[in-house]
Amino acid sequence: RRGDGWSTPRPLGGVNTPGNDNFPFFAGRELHWVTDFNRIVHAPLTETLRDSLPAVAAEGVMPFEYEDTRLYVPVSARGHLDWFILDTGASPTILDTAFASLLGLHGRDTTQRTGSGTGQLTESFGDSITLRIGNVPLAVPTPAIAPINALLARYTGRRAPGIVGSAFFTGGRAVTLDFENRILYTRRTVHPTESFLATSIPISVSGGVPFVQATLRFGSGRPIPARLMVDLGAKANLLLSEPFIKRAGLDAVQASGVPSILGAGVGGETHFAFTRLARLELAGTSAIGADSLVVGLSVGGTTRSTLFDGLLGAEFMRLYRVTFDYANARMLLRPRLPVPPNLEFDLSGMYVTASGDSLRTMTVATVDARSPAALAGVVVGDQLVALNGREVRSMTLSAVRSVLRGPIGGRITLVVVHAGARVERSFDLARRV
């Protein structure tokens, strides 16, 4: 049973030893199956139709949301519950200024912080607090406090009360992200059977952040080695830094890419030139990789770090069931079957942002001059009223962007407010990268 109805029966891998059939069958209102090949067990059907639980001795199990290439987990503290961004690439745990005030925390030792983007973020530090990530306690001795909601919300279309960073992954626990079922679970040790059908990828952890070796190939060009930060907060398959672009001789690739805003980082708005990568492989193994990925090359000083060559984002990681096992310096990647299709780059040529108290006011922030939207007369500043007959105020920003990603050739009909008047614009979506 799935959210949209009944699917074709399949082995319930995980009820029994991973990788072995468990011969499930229904009898009345119960599900029966074989366990350990020595007995048959059964459970009420209503219980078995609940969200899947991992076949491990889990410390914590929780849902996560994957929206517009970013992960969110439920976080509670002092009686307040909200959804935080989950980010392996963030060193501190960050609380938005307003959320910190709600918890009774006030910042001190104000400083300026740099990161993706060309600007700086003002942050301070609060007193110790314990957050609960799902049902897993996380002690945060000195949480960073910064106005991240004001920075991110217009690009994500949802509030950003906080970011759960590296401390969640380095706290002596293994963390698994099951993208198929949208479940995160943690435990103290990884059982050997969890390696079944998974590939172990060596990682190095520096400052609480994981790094992996990779090989990149653009078109028919030479293979290029790269050191990548595994960054769940990166809103793409892969984002390459400008020092690496220079060193690897990718200036022509950068110049030929499609420029676009991606969102915002610590340093403000981020810009990349997007192109297709013929092949990405991790740790020198062909078993873990992907073809024809849309990747971004930093422009305008967006990503300037020399600590890594690029950021490996959640959009690539969603191709696998991912286990972060820092204690053993590895990631376990188990391919999803069937393999999810690659996410298309925006096919309209316009970048839309959200504003207003409910973040349902959608405005065109940029328009590519050669794109379908531009040729149809859409301009910067147009406010979206309806999209394919649906009122935009009833949609999230993620839903709007999803429509604009395809399918290729799909017809888009927009009603926008332009210069104070409601006008209709129509165009066909076309691949731009």
pLDDT of residue 94: 95
pLDDT the model gives residue 52: 44
The rounded distance, in Å, linking the Cα atoms of 171 and 212 is 20
Q: Which of 432, 376, 19 is nearest to 192 (CA)?
A: 19
C-alpha distances (whole Å) from 415 to each of 71, 187, 384, 398, 404 are 31, 50, 6, 18, 14
- For residue 292, the tally of other CB atoms under 10 A from its CB is 10
- Look up residue 159 and give its two tokens: 């509030």
Across all residues in the chain, what is the average pLDDT?
89
- Side chain identity, residue 48: T
pLDDT digits (tens, 9 = 90+) for 355-401: 999 999 999 999 999 899 999 999 999 999 999 999 999 999 999 99
pLDDT (0 to 100) of residue 46: 60
Alpha helical stretches, state H, 188-342: 242-247, 251-256, 314-317
pLDDT at 76: 95
Instruction: Give dist(CA 149, CA 154) in Å, integer.
Output: 9
Whole-number pLDDT of residue 16: 45
Res 7: pLDDT:
60
Q: How far is CA 295 from the centre of its chain?
A: 14
Q: For 388-413, what is each residue's pLDDT tens digit?
A: 999 999 999 999 999 999 899 999 99
Helical H segments across 72-226, by residue range: 97-102, 148-156
Average pLDDT for consecutive 10-residue bins of the chain (433 residues)? 58 50 70 67 62 62 92 95 95 93 92 80 93 94 95 94 94 91 89 82 95 95 96 96 97 96 89 96 90 96 94 96 95 90 92 95 95 97 97 95 93 96 97 94
Cβ contacts of residue 119 below 8 Å, gap of 6+?
267, 268
Q: How far apart are alpha carbons 2 and 420 in whole angstroms? A: 45
What pLDDT is recorded for position 286?
85
Evaluate whether 166 touches 86 at the Cβ level (below 8 Å): no
